Chain A
């Protein structure tokens, strides 16, 4: 140990670059990628389009979208719930596809392993990158949803009329939007963990994306078959509609808690598979 300190002279002796620097590099890489930025921009349009649609239609339809009319602060929650079905998982799947399979396809995974970024650290770095995209995408929808809700839809004087008919002040309404965002991030993190595990096995980003979207559709179909009721508790998509529960008063925590627990199980499984695969993966 002493010998190698002398050998390397003034340069610091350590086996890996500092974790903070690795995460910083990953953050810059993720957020500079044009497709991430384009996607975030398009996501910002979705709540605005819903808001305009509601105002132009000018009639209280049924379902969640109908609840937005004249009740702007419902918009961010509705937008997140709607986009959780397909668009947000698409963003997360794309980030996970680029994270490992994409790096392998560009030949840059080899560079990371040769630096070396330890294989364990590499998984942390990549999971962090996917989480960043997840959080930013969710926040964009939530924030634009709040603004569009207040500006375009308006109504209810900055308060939120719950599905139960009660009225919440602006502060509490923001709290409910925050809970919905946090819960959405949790569900998406589960998708991201599984996507990252698939990404660890391939060098074709499209395989990851196709698996994520195909998986969501298959889960949706399975969940809709009455004879397969027993399967429902294991399907991630079963809990995807729980987000709207933040719009009830008092809030109902049952489904939100249950689906979050399920998401954590998926994260543990996905994380475990990703790590064990990356420890031995050829590059």
Chain B
């Protein structure tokens, strides 16, 4: 996987809002609402997926994640509002965008009587961007990428849940995509499979593709995503860059050291707010910048084992946002 360096650097830079904001969003929904009978599945959501971002969509079961994705892909029409995919209005011009979009929505769908490879060949035959001569190679590469080469010629019927999920992932990766949408990609996967998904998402991101992942595994999202959107009962409760959202909660610089008293003395000497906590001290935000704090401590003869910015865990953030206190 060779990445266009400029693109990946721009996309990978957290907090560099300029680079992401300049490009049109890879996907966007504006005021979408979806009502099934009396149930309001999605209730007026505005969301943009910045080009090049890895956006993790979080939310409890039934919060409207999948419905939102289905509306974005033109699989179901919004009751109100509009959606846009790679600059094309959905659902009127969805077909212009879809060749560049890979998707795994609501679990992998395949025919049980065909092998994994045959199933994938059938999907490949319908891919507009794949020349007929390339189908065999594309299928082989995709199977290898998801680690399914050995089981490729077994019937789909006999696949384990994890293997089915991997095959679904392979179908989304058959051709190079501008946008990849993965709905609960780690469902049923073992730890190795989860790691593979993480690697694949990272590869896509490095290659400049935009990725939209919905997941209930917060650790996964925290490890792979640049942006987060949190849904609850059909509404968007938070959206933005992961780092910004996490910093917004608690802050401070945590310094691990055995010389707590010495450190506090030195810090208070320069007017920084600091207090002892655990195996070290916490320096509150608003004082000198981090490098100066560290330099100061070292000069004062404090043994610094570790210094890191304190960030809220995504789990805490999620619990706070959705009101699901643990």
Interface residues of A (CB under 8 A from B): 8, 11-18, 21-22, 24-25, 28-29, 32-34, 106-118, 280, 282-283
Given the interface pairs A115-B123, A283-B75, the reply to whether A106 lies near B110 with Cβ below 8 Å is: yes
Q: Give 10 closest A-B pairs by Cβ, nearest first.
A: A107-B109, A25-B125, A115-B126, A116-B98, A282-B76, A108-B109, A11-B129, A116-B95, A283-B75, A117-B126
Answer yes or no: B171 CB below 8 A from chain A CBs.
yes
Q: Is A29 within 8 A of B122, CB to CB? A: yes
B1 to chain A, nearest CB (A): 16
Answer yes or no: B169 CB below 8 A from chain A CBs.
no
Contact string against A for B residues 84-98, beta-carbon threshold 8 Å, 1 for contact and 0 otherwise? 000000000011101
Chain B residues near A113: list those with CB within 8 A.
74-75
Contact of A12 among B74, B113, B131 (CB under 8 A): B131
Q: Assign chain B's interface to a size class.
A: 35 or more
Q: Is A17 within 8 A of B128, CB to CB? A: yes
Number of A-B residue pairs, CB cutoff 8 Å, is 91
Q: Is A115 within 8 A of B131, CB to CB? A: no
Query: Which among B12-20, B100-108, B214-222 touches the partner chain?
Result: B100-108
**Main DSSP-derived SS at the B contact region:** loop
Q: Is A11 within 8 A of B73, CB to CB? A: no
| Chain A residue, CB-CB nearest to B76 | A282
Q: Is A118 within 8 A of B109, CB to CB? A: no
Answer yes or no: B145 CB below 8 A from chain A CBs.
no
Answer yes or no: B127 CB below 8 A from chain A CBs.
yes
Given the interface pairs A16-B95, A21-B132, A118-B95, the reply to whether A112 lies near B75 with Cβ below 8 Å is: no
Q: Is B127 within 8 A of A17, CB to CB? A: yes
Given the interface pairs A15-B99, A114-B75, the reply to whether A22 lies near B131 with Cβ below 8 Å is: no
Q: Is A8 within 8 A of B129, CB to CB? A: yes
Chain B residues near A110: list those with CB within 8 A.
75, 105-106, 109
Chain A residues near B109: list those with CB within 8 A.
106-111
Chain A residues near B121: list those with CB within 8 A.
25
| Chain B residue, CB-CB nearest to A9 | B176
| Chain B residue, CB-CB nearest to A105 | B109
Answer yes or no: B175 CB below 8 A from chain A CBs.
yes
Complex Cα gap A118–B105 (Å): 19
Complex Cα gap A29–B216 (Å): 35
